[in-house]
Structure 1
Amino acid sequence: MGRVTDETETRGTAAWHGRIEHVRGSQVRSDTAQTSGMRRFEAISGTTVGSERLWMGRTHVPPATSSGDHHHGEAETAIYVVSGHPVFVFAEGDREVRVETGPGDYVFVPPYVPHREENPSGDEEAVVVIARSTQEGIVVNLPSLWAPRPQDG
């Protein structure tokens, strides 16, 4: 049998004695990057809890509202639909593709993919939980889904 390595040898005792951070729902911050037509709330980030590789929060889109077109830079984005039936729109060639969702659904947005959120409901707010692979909430607002990346044009 191989030798069992005591993790404290390689990571130090700090790995065993770190803190678990607790952010109450009432403590989420709205002073994060925003896009028109939606409201983002930051819970877990480098700013709030000292995370090094993760951002997490939630987004609210009011009834009968569309967000502005945007992307999240280098961040991968995972979305969980809590309530409502948000539609995620992105460009594929010269057409818009619409991904219709409902509570319990998950959506993955790759880095740099321009998109927008729409809430077609006339009376129900759409709420989603978001996790990103960066410690801060990167938001790049765009004039359209077909806007070139800065290095492309």
Structure 2
Amino acid sequence: MSDHWHRDLDRPDLRHVRPEEMTGDTAQTGGMTRREAISGATVGSSSIWMGQTHVAPSTSSGDHHHGATETAIYVISGNPVFVFGKDGAEVRLETSPGDYVFVPPWTPHREENPGTEEAVVVIARGSQEGVVVNLPSLFD
């Protein structure tokens, strides 16, 4: 056939990643678990990283940032709190399922889960790698 759906072009195939195929073989931060789904390593992406983060109940992650990459977060379950500093004060973004959070490049932050259920979020980054720079505690 000669339409745009059936031509034999030199292009990659779509990739399907099931939950059980996600890997923990990515950068990690204490107090949370990242699971990588879409990356250069898993599907050959060249400009996006996507996965999940799980934070157990009554747990706080370590402080970190994501280098030069932008990060978009979508809350699936739980009520994670995203904490960062502004003008010398701690700022807390309290979220619910369905909320989105944007983390600009180089912005130190941490995730907290004050709830009684695991908090799960989907993360997308403008990089084919899961860039994570762990930091000493910001607010001690």
**From 127, 131, 142, the counterpart of 2:124:** 131
Q: Is 1:113 aligned to residue 113 of structure 2? A: no
* Letter matched to residue 78 of structure 1: A
1:25 Cα deviation from its structure 2 partner = 0.7
The TM-score, its normalising length taken from structure 1, stands at: 0.84
Q: Can you give the 5+ residue segments of structure 2 that lack an aligned partner in the other structure? A: 1-8
What is the rounded CA distance, in whole Å, between the counterparts of 1:63 and 1:25 in structure 2?
21
* Letter matched to residue 72 of structure 1: H
Q: Is 1:142 aligned to residue 135 of structure 2? A: yes
* Letter matched to residue 76 of structure 2: V
Name the Cα RMSD after superposition. 1.3
Query: Contact 1:35–1:70 (CA<8 Å) still a contact in 2?
Result: yes
Query: Contact 1:70–1:145 (CA<8 Å) still a contact in 2?
Result: no
Q: Deviations over 1:12-41 (max 9, x none)?
A: x43xx4200111110000111000000000
**From 80, 83, 90, the counterpart of 1:96:** 90
Which of structure 1's runs of 4+ aligned residues deviate more than 4 A? none
The TM-score, its normalising length taken from structure 2, stands at: 0.91
Q: Deviations over 1:79-131 (max 9, x none)?
A: 0000000000000011100000000000000000000000001x210000000
Greater fraction helix: 1
Aligned residue runs from structure 1 range 4-153, under 5 A: 13-14=9-10, 17-121=11-115, 123-145=116-138
Question: Does 136-145 or 38-47 show the bigger shift?
Answer: 136-145
What is the rounded CA distance, in whole Å, between the counterparts of 1:53 and 1:100 in structure 2?
29
Larger Rg: 1
1:144 Cα deviation from its structure 2 partner = 2.8
What is the rounded CA distance, in whole Å, between the counterparts of 2:89 and 2:114 in structure 1?
19
Provide the secondary structure at the position in 2 that maps to 1:26: helix
What is the rounded CA distance, in whole Å, between the counterparts of 1:66 and 1:126 in structure 2?
11
* Letter matched to residue 128 of structure 2: Q
User: How many aligned residue pairs are there?
Assistant: 132
